[in-house]
Amino acid sequence: MYKASYKFTVINKLRWSIIILGLILFLGHTATAQQYNVAGTATAMSSPGCYMLTTTTGQSGAVWNIYTINLTQPFDITLSLNFGNRGGHYGSTDCGADGMSFVLQPLNSGVFGPGGGVGFQGIANSLGVVMDTYVENTTDPPYQHISMNKNGDPSHNVYSPAGVCPPTGTLVTTNPNEIVPYCNAIGWPCTPTGTYSCITDGLPHLFRFTWTPTVSGVGTANAYFGTATTLPTTPTLTYTGNIVANIFSGNPNVYWGVSGSTGGCWNNQSVCITTVANYVADTVACYGQPVLFFDNSLSGLPITSYLWDFADGTTSPLQNPTHTFTSPGLYLVSLHITNSGGFSSTMVHTVLIHPKPTVTVNDTTICKGDFATLNANGATSYFWSNGLMGSSINVSPQTTTTYIVTGQNEYYCTNKDTAIVSIYPSPVITTDHDSIVICLGDTATVTASGGSTYYWKPIGSIVNPLKVSPPFSTDYTVIGTSNLHGCHDSANVAVIISPDPQVAFLFDSNYKCEPMVVNFTNQTDPANATMLWNFGDGSSSTNQNPTHTYAAGTFTVTITATSPQGCKSISTNNNLINVYPQPHGDFSWNPPIGTLSDPIIQFTDKTVPVGSYTYAWDFGDGSTSGFIQNPSHLYTNVAFYNVMMVVTSDYGCLDTVRHSIQIVNDSLTFPNVITPNGDGINDKLVIKGLDGGAYPNSKMVIFNRWGKIVYESNNYQNDFDGNGLAAGVYYYIFTAKGVLREIKHQSSLEILR
């Protein structure tokens, strides 16, 4: 029919012919209402679910549901169509072109056809219910009419004797794409005088489309056209056939929508989505885990009932139910709604429930100190309760320990198993002596117990009891083994040789600064001789290797050594220790805490007593400074820095002082999504930089979509994990008082489960 194109000039005819032959236009923006996308000249109206398709000549627009429907399942859609208002069939300014079409197509939600083509011309592999409001030529029916066409062909090429309405001759469809010819049974009667009762009356008209398939693929498509409030009980048009195979080339997934267009004539053509069942669900989930189904239906009247069929023998009357599938597989879940006007609609989507992995791991038993290998199977990735990852790990517990492995398959479904690493009882090896003191040339006997076999080191003997006569003091280690599992333990015994004392010692230095800490190392032979140290300042010690602190001065050290056999030797060392006065270094810094926005720290020397010193600074970041008493330093990274100052007197006495300097980052990074699924990744709302110390006082308030506070903390510690909250979008306000400034951040937060 190429609607109203005869009212255009020759140039317009050529332009529209090119569009008809080659172009399908795509829309670059989406509609604002829920799950619908507008294309061409279509725009969303102020009423929810309503869209204006055309408003003037030469326009074409469409509105599409952005989700495909599966034609292997039934569906039921009711819409309200307004074809505009015209004064008369001929001669009116708004002459009523061209009409609207209900269309199924597999391409995308942005297509539309050219003006004059009822909005879907040129869309291949499509099925449209064409509601034609303009008589194009002598082959077009002489009244407003309806038909069911395929492949984007809006033409009506029929035999109709001139001047007869309705036609009395034989109805012949010459267009192969007109699979159900036009009819005169939609409330558009006509008379031979040319007076018509038109649907371009400015009033809404209910339109209903249903599809009922069978297992073989053959199904029935019914179209109903009625008034503003009623629909006929019998279909206005009916088509029976395999539309998936015959029209959509075997693709059962199609988009549905309404298109409209104008040519040289025009009208304000609009559609309102009145009764359409639809829902959103977690379409990929794991069995045994709850799946949330969210009603996304549209209805011009209040919806009075919901019926969900989960395709596993269970149903629900709730609007937004949660359902747990007990086995994996594909489930064709349907939603049937009924509104207060008695209109109903059904929509079916496929929900894929993936299997969980079957995770297994081995138990094992080891000796204490040995390593056990745990091998997990049945998944693609593994996470262990001790923080390790991988299918195989090595562990060495000190006691019997249970390890939990969580396996994840390629569908991100998880399952767990446990492995028990048991510890065999180890022998407790002891010796009858911790140490034995003998004289040079004597024999000592040592005995081990608690094992089945013994091995003595360093001599490599397996004899027990063991007799030894070492030429010098020797430590012996015995390793005892249990024959049952080969587990072992060890013990030590020292055999000490006590010759006549030969006093000898070492010490750190005899020239130091006060306080001079001197470590005396006893080298008297025998080593177990009783020692008496006289430090020359009125102090003494009986320690073998004493440490003594001297004040300034010169001191003589006297040592007396006594062996277990009562042998004694005295060593006097005159003026052995010389001690110089000691400076006491300290420093302060400003500011007390540095930030990346103010990273320069000024250091001030506070050494006492005040005098002439040399200085060396280590700023803790690899940088140093020498000879400067009060330096400043620029820090470029967030960290704690151990700053060291070394102050040295003219005598070479020095003091070292260290302080920890903190540089914090006063910038924060705020997330807007968390996935609290227990996998340890993104489970909590973590504000990066908050734990850096720049903002010691913070407050977090989280709201749901209705503005209700669902979480509040006056000292937020990055610990919000969405516990008890459903998946969805929330909003939060974060305020904090930092070292240098105060901040306030507002953001949305999506919880994905």
Q: Looking at the chain, which residues constitute the CATH 2.60.40.1220 domain(s)?
A: 673-751
Q: Dump the DSSP string for 165-221.
A: SS--S---B--TTEEEEEES-SS--B-TTS-B--S-BSSEEEEEEEEEE-TTS-EEE
State the pLDDT at residue 157: 61
Q: H or E element: which one contains 17?
A: helix 10-22
Residue 549 identity: T
The CATH class, in words, for 505-580 is: mainly beta
> What DSSP letter does each residue of 652-707 carry, written as one string?
S-EEEEEEEEEEE----B--SEE--SSSSSS-S---BTGGGSS-SEEEEEEE-TTS
Q: Residue range 69-90: average pLDDT?
A: 80
Amino acid at 317: P
In three-state secondary structure terms, 5 is helix
Give the other-Cβ count within 10 Å of 30's Cβ. 15
Q: What is the pLDDT of residue 692?
A: 73
Checking if the pLDDT of 451 tops 50, the result is: yes
In this prediction, residue 142 carries a pLDDT of 64
Q: Name, in order, each residue with C-beta under 8 angstroms of 8's C-beta and a sequence gap of 6 or more.
A: 16, 58, 263, 264
Q: What pLDDT is recorded for position 296?
A: 85
The contacts of residue 335 (CB under 8 Å, 6+ apart) are: 277, 278, 279, 293, 295, 297, 306, 307, 308, 346, 347, 348
| Confidence band for 645, pLDDT divided at 50, 70 and 90 | very high
Q: 587-664 is classed in which CATH architecture?
A: Sandwich (2.60)
pLDDT at 266 (0 to 100): 82
- Going from the C-alpha of 667 to that of each of 700, 719, 731, 741, the distances in angstroms are 17, 19, 21, 11
DSSP state of 130: E
pLDDT average, residue stretch 197-203: 75
H/E element, 135? none
Q: CA-based diameter of the chain, in Å? A: 149
pTM higher than 0.85? no
b/e map 307-323, b = 16+ CB within 10 Å: bbbbbeeebbeebebeb
Average pLDDT of every residue of the chain = 83
Question: Which SS3 state, helix, strand or coil, does residue 339 take?
Answer: strand
Residue range 38-60, pLDDT digits in tens: 999 999 998 878 899 999 888 99
Would you state the pLDDT for residue 347?
83
At 596 the pLDDT is 80
Please say whether the beta carbons of 33 and 308 come within 8 A: no
Percent of the chain with pLDDT over 90: 47
Query: Long-range contacts of range 714-721, CB-CB < 8 Å, 24 or more positions apart?
Result: 716/687, 716/690, 718/684, 718/685, 718/686, 718/687, 718/690, 718/691, 719/684, 720/674, 720/684, 720/685, 721/674, 721/676, 721/683, 721/684, 721/685
pLDDT tens sequence across 469-512: 888 889 999 999 987 788 888 999 999 887 778 899 998 877 77
Long-range contact pairs involving 163-167 (C-beta distance under 8 Å, separation at least 24): 163/192, 164/192, 165/190, 165/191, 165/192, 165/194, 166/190, 167/141
- State the average pLDDT over residues 280-289: 80
pLDDT in tens, 314-329: 999 999 999 999 999 9
Q: What is the pLDDT of residues 398-413, one digit of tens each?
A: 999 999 999 999 988 8
567: pLDDT strictly greater than 90? no
Domain 5-276: assigned CATH number: 2.60.120.200
Domain with CATH 2.60.40.10 in the chain: 279-342, 505-580, 587-664
Total residue length of the chain: 753
**In this structure, are strands 60-65 and 303-309 parallel, antiparallel, or unpaired?**
unpaired
The pLDDT of residue 159 = 41
Q: Return the bridge partners of 607, or none.
A: none
Per-residue model confidence as pLDDT tens digits over 118-151: 888 889 899 999 888 877 766 666 667 788 888 8
DSSP secondary structure letters along 300-314: SS-EEEEEEE-SSS-
Contact 735, 699 (CB under 8 A): yes
CB 12 within 8 A of CB 269: no
Is the pLDDT at 555 greater than 80, yes or no? yes
Q: Which CATH architecture has domain 673-751?
A: Sandwich (2.60)
The CATH architecture one would assign to domain 430-497 is Sandwich (2.60)
Per the CB < 8 A criterion, the answer to whether 44 and 38 are in contact is: yes
Q: What is the pLDDT of residue 174?
A: 58
**Enclosing H/E stretch for 15:** helix 10-22
Bridge partners, 145 (sequence order):
132
Q: List residues bridging with 54 in a β-sheet.
A: 269
CB atoms within 10 A of CB 202: 12
Superfamily of domain 279-342 in the CATH hierarchy: Immunoglobulins (2.60.40.10)
Host H or E run for residue 77? strand 75-82
Residue 710: pLDDT over 70: yes
Q: Any idea which of 336-345, 359-368, 596-605 has the lowest mean pLDDT? A: 336-345
